[in-house]
């Protein structure tokens, strides 16, 4: 990373970011996406959940604190540049390779009964297994998790984050 980019990230408050931004569903790979995305905001406007926000450099990012992705495809439908291709990139047909990760700040990990994430997960990708000591710990089934992010905002400890396959 060049010194100029580091300075810009610092001035924007992005110096603490450790993971790459999550682009909208059906985004092309990072280099192609940033090369052809026009930063027009059409995907942001079209998103009924309101989870697509303007991120660094004016590029769209998904903010799961605002809600979950329903994979309606409206973002890809309005993308003029082809940066989002609904019938495109992935061999498995999935809109993206994003999954949830639960951090150590999780209340259940701390011994407090909390299962909000499990309750929000329609895919049943989050389960709690009884651990030694009588409390249950969360586990994420990476195969079942579709990356919708429904578990993120309800987490009272803010210990769930969504990550792409390269993160």
Same domain, 43 and 81: yes
Query: How much is the pTM?
Result: 0.83
Count of structural domains, the chain: 2
pLDDT at 166 over 80: no
Domain with 44 in it = 19-95
- CATH number of the domain within which 33 lies: 3.30.70.20
Q: Is 6 a domain residue?
A: no
- Among 95, 112, 139, the domain boundary falls at 95
Return the residue matching tokens 């605002």: 66
Same domain, 88 and 109: no
Same domain, 104 and 135: yes
Same domain, 72 and 116: no
Cβ atoms within 10 Å of 99's Cβ, excluding its own? 19
The pLDDT score that the predictor gives to residue 132 is: 81
Q: Give the whole-number percent of the chain exceeding pLDDT 70.
A: 84
- Among 58, 73, 95, the domain boundary falls at 95
The pLDDT score that the predictor gives to residue 2 is: 37
Higher pLDDT, 59 or 94: 59
Please report which helix (H) or strand (E) contains residue 45, including its range: helix 42-46
- Among 59, 76, 95, the domain boundary falls at 95
Q: Is 9 a domain residue?
A: no
Same domain, 91 and 113: no
Same domain, 67 and 102: no
User: What pLDDT digit, counting tens, does each position of 10-62 carry?
Assistant: 555 555 555 789 999 999 988 999 999 999 999 999 999 999 999 999 999 99
- Residue 124: how many CA atoms within 13 Å on its side-chain side? 0
């Amino acid at each position: 990373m060049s010194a100029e980019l580091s300075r810009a990230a610092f001035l924007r408050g992005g110096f603490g970011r450790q993971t790459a931004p999550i682009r909208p569903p059906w985004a092309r790979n990072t280099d192609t996406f940033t090369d052809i995305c026009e930063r027009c905001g059409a995907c942001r406007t079209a998103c009924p959940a309101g989870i697509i926000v303007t991120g660094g450099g004016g590029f769209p990012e998904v903010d799961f604190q605002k809600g979950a992705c329903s994979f309606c495809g409206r973002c890809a439908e309005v993308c003029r540049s082809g940066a989002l291709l609904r019938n495109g990139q992935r061999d498995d047909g999935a809109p993206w390779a994003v999954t949830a990760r639960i951090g150590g700040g999780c209340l259940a990990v701390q011994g407090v009964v909390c299962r909000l994430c499990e309750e929000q997960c329609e895919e049943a990708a989050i389960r709690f297994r009884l651990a030694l000591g009588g409390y249950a710990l969360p586990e994420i089934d990476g195969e079942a998790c579709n990356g919708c992010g429904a578990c993120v905002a309800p987490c009272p400890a803010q210990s769930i984050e969504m990550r792409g396959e390269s993160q």
